Amino acid sequence: GDAFITKTYGLPLEIDSSDESYVLAADKQAAYFGITLDEPIVTETKTFKAGDIIKFGTHEIEVIETPGHSMGSVVLYIKDEKVAFTGDTLFRGSIGRTDFEGGSMLMIIQSLRMFVQFPDDITLLPGHGQQTTMGYELAHNPYLDR
């Protein structure tokens, strides 16, 4: 849907600078999974880095780097709303894959240490699957503990 959003709304894809090369080579990434793209996924990117604050309407979204699934994996944290978009770093009851190029089990485990600092009632919205909370993950996810 990246190309659709870029064309329809004129918004560039925003990504961590560490993953920009993967996105710009999306056709090769798609081919790895046996997918042929009809058109480039994205033609324009805007990069961000750890500590950046993305302002969107009345929202302030903090960028927290969480390498491991990829070098540019991030969590987008909206503290005032107790919500974090965890991407492919943390899923309900599991974590993201680390066997792709740029992935690292050691790095994702280190990144997960950041999660235990979140309050138990924060809502976590992963890149795939069901939403969860920090409290649920601490009780059920074998990759997390305090």
Do 42 and 54 lie in one domain? The reply is no
Do 110 and 123 lie in one domain? The reply is yes
Do 85 and 141 lie in one domain? The reply is yes
* 74 closest CA partner among 111, 44, 20: 111
Do 36 and 94 lie in one domain? The reply is no
Do 79 and 144 lie in one domain? The reply is yes
- Going by the DSSP 8-state scheme, the letter that residue 88 receives in this structure is T
Query: pLDDT per residue over 127-142, tens digit each?
Result: 999 999 999 999 999 9
Number of domains in the chain: 2
Domain extent, residue 136, equals 49-146
CA distances from residue 9 to 3, 13, 41, 91, 133 in whole angstroms, order as listed: 10, 11, 15, 29, 32
Do 89 and 62 lie in one domain? The reply is yes
Predicted TM-score of the model (pTM):
0.83
Do 43 and 84 lie in one domain? The reply is no
Choose the final residue of a domain: 26, 48, 70: 48
* 114 closest CA partner among 140, 95, 99, 129: 95
Task: Say what the pLDDT of residue 139 is.
Answer: 96
Query: pLDDT per residue over 72-112, tens digit each?
Result: 999 999 999 999 999 999 999 999 999 988 899 999 999 99
Do 19 and 83 lie in one domain? The reply is no
How far is residue 17 CA from its own chain's centroid? 13
Do 83 and 121 lie in one domain? The reply is yes
Do 81 and 133 lie in one domain? The reply is yes
Do 76 and 132 lie in one domain? The reply is yes
Do 121 and 132 lie in one domain? The reply is yes
CATH of the domain at 117: 3.60.15.10
